[in-house]
Amino acid sequence: MKTYSYFFAFLISLLSSSQVFCQISFGGTPPGIKYSIGIFDYPTIKLEAPDVTSLLEADAFDDKNGMPMRFGVSLPVEIDLANDGAWIKLPGGGEMCKLAVHVDNAQALTVYCSTFEIPKGGELYLYNHDQKQIIGSLTNRTNPKQQSFAMEMIQGETLTFEYFQPAGLIVKPRVLVSEIGYAYRSVENFFRLGVKGNADTCEVNINCPEGEGWQDQKNGVARILVKTNSSQVWCTGSLLNNTRLDYSPYFLTANHCGPAATPQNYDQWVFYFQYESPACENPDTTIQPTKSMVGATKVAAIDAFTGSDFKLLLLNESVPSTYHPFFNGWSAQGIPGTTGVTIHHPQGDLKKISTYTSTLISTTWDSVPNTHWRVVWAPTVTNWGVTEGGSSGCPIFDNNYRIVGHLTGGQASCQSQASPDYYGKFSYSWDQDPTSNETMLKPWLDPDDTGVQELDGIFLGVEEMQLPGVLNIYPNPTDGVVFIDLSKFSARNCELVVLDILGKEIIRKNIDMQVEELIMFDLSHFHSGVYIIQVNTNDGVFIGKVMR
């Protein structure tokens, strides 16, 4: 990576300005535990389990042919928590509503809601049979903009709802459950202590030596619990940077991950960030995924038979800074990486890394030529990582740490490590199917048509949000004229430097701070977009950004 472009990306990473907190869980204690509620008669809705033998037979065919890994199916229900649950008075005047759902032999259960509205002051919790896994509280801050919603998987055959309604609150929650996701394979190891995960034995954890140079990029990669009609499958994808550098939560995966998904299905997709082993070895205790988000909108896609098999999503909420997300960089130039890695969640397992050391080869997946990169994985110091079901949609990075493709499929496995995999080209997805904005990446990742063809990644994290020395710039956004407040500076003189998103200097001037307490400059003659502001003083360098 070029020194200047890396430094420029570092400057951008200091400038996070959004702290939208969108975790679906806000902590707390279920009322039954908090108030020591003893024996309490509440309903348990028992559902009939599906024919798992038939499901596994169908899965065997799909797995062999590189389809996304199905691990669960939906069971239709009609549950209205407020009406179907049992209510009980609590000490202090509040109330609790409780309801359980049970399905024999389930490895885990997922709740899908057609309507989810928690009134202000209310708190919803979910937990498993032994209360070792508790999700909550879900509050009015969790309420989605749309009606559809989903919750994280709950381990085991039984999940229990507990809703707390404080004294004085009259409005009841509208939690209408339309489906229960029944996980029948690949999930049980996520909840057991002291066992390896579901990925095959040759895979390499992201925090092994192979991942040392990719610690930024890993924070943009997430596991996806994909819902498509009545099936749940595992896939992988990544956050993407865009030329406005505005942290829009664009997320790239493969189109074959839920090709028939409806808008309602997308609202119920669950994205798990930082689901990884803290060390190179598999952990001795269960790693519970705690950093999740729910819901997305599909904005663009091409299938694998007519193009590069990409799907671009826009997450329904901004990514919380507490997730320390990295919006990965990319290259649309179509230049093959000479070395690089892929970061992925095989079998929905903890985050892994696989390495290539020979140049990617341009190839064809179906009938359209040169839509994909062919890659062969290399043995490394820890093992010989490949891809598996659940890796679909994962990014492949080049030697400049930029995404150049997204996984469609291939023959590589731990039993055939030298066999190839195929990644849809980012450069093809960029603008090679100009049918509409909905078949290209470019209109979304370069909305101002700047012509940028490659971009580094940027961080949005807690450390950056709290850094001192960020400039007071206003108005921001601006139509042209910009002011910087210098009143708190003690230095006599300073130098103003303004850079565009490519790092090109467009303004430089010296300021006598004894005369001027405000710096004024005009961007009205420049293109719309994000500009980096740097003020150099004897007290140090101060960085800011402004959007025109």
Q: Which two tokens stand for residue 316?
A: 């329904």
Are residues 410 and 330 located together in one domain of the fold?
yes
Are residues 296 and 175 located together in one domain of the fold?
no
525 counts as catalytic: no
**From 148, 248, 256, 349, the catalytic residue:** 256
Q: Which residue has the higher pLDDT, 383 or 466?
A: 383
Highest mean pLDDT among 191-195, 326-330, 507-511: 326-330
Are residues 431 and 489 located together in one domain of the fold?
no
Give a yes or no: residue 96 inside a domain. Answer: yes
450-483 pLDDT, tens digit each? 899 999 998 874 333 333 456 788 887 788 888 8
Domain holding 109: CATH number? 2.60.120.290
H or E element, residue 4: helix 3-13
Tell me, what's the pLDDT at 466? Answer: 34
Tell me, what's the pLDDT at 211? Answer: 96
- 424 phi and psi, to 5 degrees? -60, 135
Are residues 455 and 473 located together in one domain of the fold?
no
In this structure, the number of other CB atoms found within 10 A of the CB of residue 532 comes to 22
Mean pLDDT of the chain, nearest integer: 87
* Bridging pattern class, strands 95-103 and 44-47: parallel
Are residues 297 and 319 located together in one domain of the fold?
yes
Three-class SS string for 356-422? Answer: ECCCCEEECCCCCCCCEEEECCCCCCCCCCCCCCCCCCCEEECCCCCEEEEEEEECCECCECCCCEE
Give a yes or no: residue 227 inside a domain. Answer: yes
Both ends of the chain: CA-CA distance in Å? 28
Give percent of the chain with pLDDT exceeding 70.
89
Are residues 237 and 124 located together in one domain of the fold?
no
Tell me, what's the pLDDT at 196? Answer: 62
Classify residue 118 by its DSSP letter. Answer: P
User: Residue 23: pLDDT band by 50, 70, 90 thresholds?
Assistant: very low
Q: State the residue range of the domain holding 244.
A: 210-459
256 counts as catalytic: yes
Are residues 336 and 440 located together in one domain of the fold?
yes
Residue 240 contacts residue 328 (beta carbons within 8 Å): yes
Rounded Cα distance between 313 and 355, Å, is 26
Domain holding 543: CATH number? 2.60.40.10
Are residues 313 and 435 located together in one domain of the fold?
yes
Tell me, what's the pLDDT at 420? Answer: 97
Q: Which two tokens stand for residue 533?
A: 């502001």
- From the list 312, 334, 340, the residue with the least C-alpha distance to 438 is 312
Give a yes or no: residue 196 inside a domain. Answer: no
Which of 139-148, 295-304, 434-443, 502-511 is least confident?
A: 502-511
Tell me, what's the pLDDT at 37? Answer: 86
Average pLDDT over residues 119-132: 94
Tell me, what's the pLDDT at 64? Answer: 65
Give a yes or no: residue 295 inside a domain. Answer: yes
**From 216, 267, 309, 398, the catalytic residue:** 309
User: Residue 533: pLDDT band by 50, 70, 90 thresholds?
Assistant: confident
Tell me, what's the pLDDT at 19? Answer: 30
Domain holding 218: CATH number? 2.40.10.10
Last residue of a domain, one of 188, 219, 246: 188
Number of domains within the chain: 3
Instruction: Note if the pTM is more than 0.75.
Output: yes
415-450 pLDDT, tens digit each? 999 999 999 999 999 999 999 999 999 999 999 998
Which of 81-95, 460-474, 499-513, 528-542 is least confident?
A: 460-474
Sort residue 45 into left (φ over 0), alpha (ψ -120 to 50) or beta: beta
Q: CB burial class (10 A; 0-12, 13-18, 19+) of residue 254?
A: buried
Cβ contacts of residue 145 below 8 Å, gap of 6+? Answer: 316
Which of 6-15, 365-374, 463-472 is least confident?
A: 6-15
Are residues 167 and 263 located together in one domain of the fold?
no
Tell me, what's the pLDDT at 195? Answer: 55
H or E element, residue 59: helix 52-64
- 126 phi and psi, to 5 degrees? -130, 145
Tell me, what's the pLDDT at 464? Answer: 37
How many residues are listed for the chain in this entry? 548
Are residues 524 and 492 located together in one domain of the fold?
yes
Rounded Cα distance between 21 and 44, Å, is 34
Give a yes or no: residue 47 inside a domain. Answer: yes
Q: Which residue has the higher pLDDT, 363 or 195?
A: 363
Q: Which two tokens stand for residue 52?
A: 């798992």
Cβ contacts of residue 50 below 8 Å, gap of 6+? Answer: 73, 75, 182, 184
Give a yes or no: residue 141 inside a domain. Answer: yes
Cis amide linkage into residue 119, ω under 30° from 0:
no
215-226 pLDDT, tens digit each? 999 999 999 999
**From 392, 427, 429, 500, the catalytic residue:** 392
Are residues 250 and 145 located together in one domain of the fold?
no
Cis amide linkage into residue 477, ω under 30° from 0:
yes
Last residue of a domain, one of 188, 223, 246: 188
236-270 pLDDT, tens digit each? 999 999 998 889 999 999 999 999 999 999 999 99
Tell me, what's the pLDDT at 22? Answer: 33
Average pLDDT over residues 274-295: 83
Cis amide linkage into residue 137, ω under 30° from 0:
yes
Give a yes or no: residue 144 inside a domain. Answer: yes
Which of 155-169, 388-402, 432-446, 449-463 is least confident?
A: 449-463
Tell me, what's the pLDDT at 65? Answer: 65
- Helix (H, G, I), strand (E, B), or coil: what is residue 126? strand
Is the pLDDT at 213 greater than 80, yes or no? yes
Last residue of a domain, one of 394, 424, 459: 459
129 counts as catalytic: no
Average pLDDT over residues 147-162: 93
Give a yes or no: residue 184 inside a domain. Answer: yes
- From the list 117, 116, 122, the residue with the least C-alpha distance to 164 is 122
Tell me, what's the pLDDT at 528? Answer: 75
Are residues 454 and 473 located together in one domain of the fold?
no
Question: For 221-248, b where at least 16 C-beta lie within 10 A, e where not — what string?
Answer: bbbbbbbbeebbbbbbbbbbbbbbbbbb
